[in-house]
Amino acid sequence: MNINQLRYYISVATLRSFSAAAEKHYITQTAMTQQIRALEETVGCQLINRSVRPISLTPAGQSFLNDARAILAHLDDALDRAAEASSGIIGTLRIGYIKGYERSTLSDNLRSFHRQMPNVLLTCYRDTSDNLAAGLQNDEYDIIFTWDSTGLRHSPEYVPISIENARLTAVLYAAHPLGRREYLERSDFRDEALIYMSPSGRVDNQGDSQFMDLYRKAGYQPQIVCRSTDVESVLIMVAAEEGISIVPDYCVKKITDAEGLIFVPMRGEEETEQIHALYKKKNDNVALQRFISFMNKEALRQ
């Protein structure tokens, strides 16, 4: 078996024709037929049903087609990485992320990218959404992952990438009577003291407006006893029974030993927080372009 045989097979399987595949690869139909037969001998079973027109794949052929595509995709990635290593692509990628997002899948993606581009130094910075936006505007970051409470994604100077629509989760202390519920709604918190987690240090940000609208729809004004941009402080205060809170699920879903805390998902289509990656259109950092390409490939694989 060789790489050309895999490419030939994918073409035959896709085009459902030996002649069309031969024409695509600039070889004769006889040569194409011989290569596919040699591949079938190596695999040990018939891959193509030649008794029908157009030709079709056998069950084994369909399974092998998926594997052949995956093999070539991995090969292409390996060739890209080798080319990048040989060209000596180096540099620094400055990444800002919103407080709490360190518990998301961001670290997994950064680890995978680092393995592909080991010569790129990843430097990470944790901050509020407004500080991240200001840092991106002042070229302190190449890319930020944020709950865009500033509306920066609407500016034509920046490129937004939708990363995830994070569900919201209620954080309750262990003795709270609502902790036994399967899910909760905003209306359940009418009489509760609220420890409010905000993406921004400013009180007039778009993120806060979004959630205040949800409380108004539920028919009341929340009793906010404390406001914080730091999830760790929020969790400590809830555990101390100072009140309850609502946070994005990426802040808590990796917590395995939450002594004194209970997490209950919020119900409702609007109970979400949209995370975007943002970068400047005019940023010519090669490491940034490689990282964007990596993220796009990862999105296709999911």
* Residue 242 · residue 176 · CB < 8 Å: no
Alpha carbon distance 223, 170 (integer Å): 15
pLDDT of 194 higher than 80: yes
* Residue 223 · residue 217 · CB < 8 Å: no
> Is cis: bond before 199, omega within 30 of 0?
no
pLDDT of 219 higher than 90: yes
pLDDT at 85: 59
pLDDT at 209: 80
pLDDT: which is higher, 259 or 31 = 31
| % of the chain at pLDDT higher than 90 | 51
Q: Just give the CATH number of 91-164+275-301.
A: 3.40.190.10
How many CB atoms sit inside 10 A of residue 262's CB?
18
Confidence band (pLDDT; 50, 70, 90) for 83?
A: low
Counting beta carbons within 10 angstroms of the beta carbon of residue 68, is it exposed (0 to 12), middle (13 to 18) or buried (19 or more)? buried
Confidence band (pLDDT; 50, 70, 90) for 117?
A: confident
Alpha carbon distance 29, 198 (integer Å): 65
Q: Just give the CATH number of 166-271.
A: 3.40.190.10
Give, in order, the Cα–Cα distances in Å from 78 to each of 71, 85, 244, 286: 11, 10, 49, 19
Amino acid symbol at 38: A
pLDDT: which is higher, 75 or 140 = 140
Q: Which range has the worst mean pLDDT, 86-100, 112-126, 173-187?
A: 86-100
Quote the tokens at residue 233: 């402080």
What pLDDT digit, counting tens, does each position of 33-46 carry? 998 899 888 888 89
pLDDT of 88 higher than 60: no
Q: Average pLDDT of 218-232? A: 92
Domain layout of the chain by residue ranges? 3-87, 91-164+275-301, 166-271
What is the third-level CATH fold of 3-87? Arc Repressor Mutant, subunit A (1.10.10)
Alpha carbon distance 181, 177 (integer Å): 8
| % of the chain at pLDDT higher than 70 | 93
pLDDT: which is higher, 265 or 116 = 265
Give the length of the chain. Answer: 302
* Residue 238 · residue 162 · CB < 8 Å: no
pLDDT at 171: 96
Asked whether this chain's domains 91-164+275-301 and 166-271 adopt the same fold, the reply is yes
Question: Who's near 93: CB < 8 A, 6+ residues apart?
Answer: 120, 121, 122, 123, 142, 143, 285, 287, 288, 291
How many CB atoms sit inside 10 A of residue 22's CB?
21
pLDDT of 302 higher than 70: no
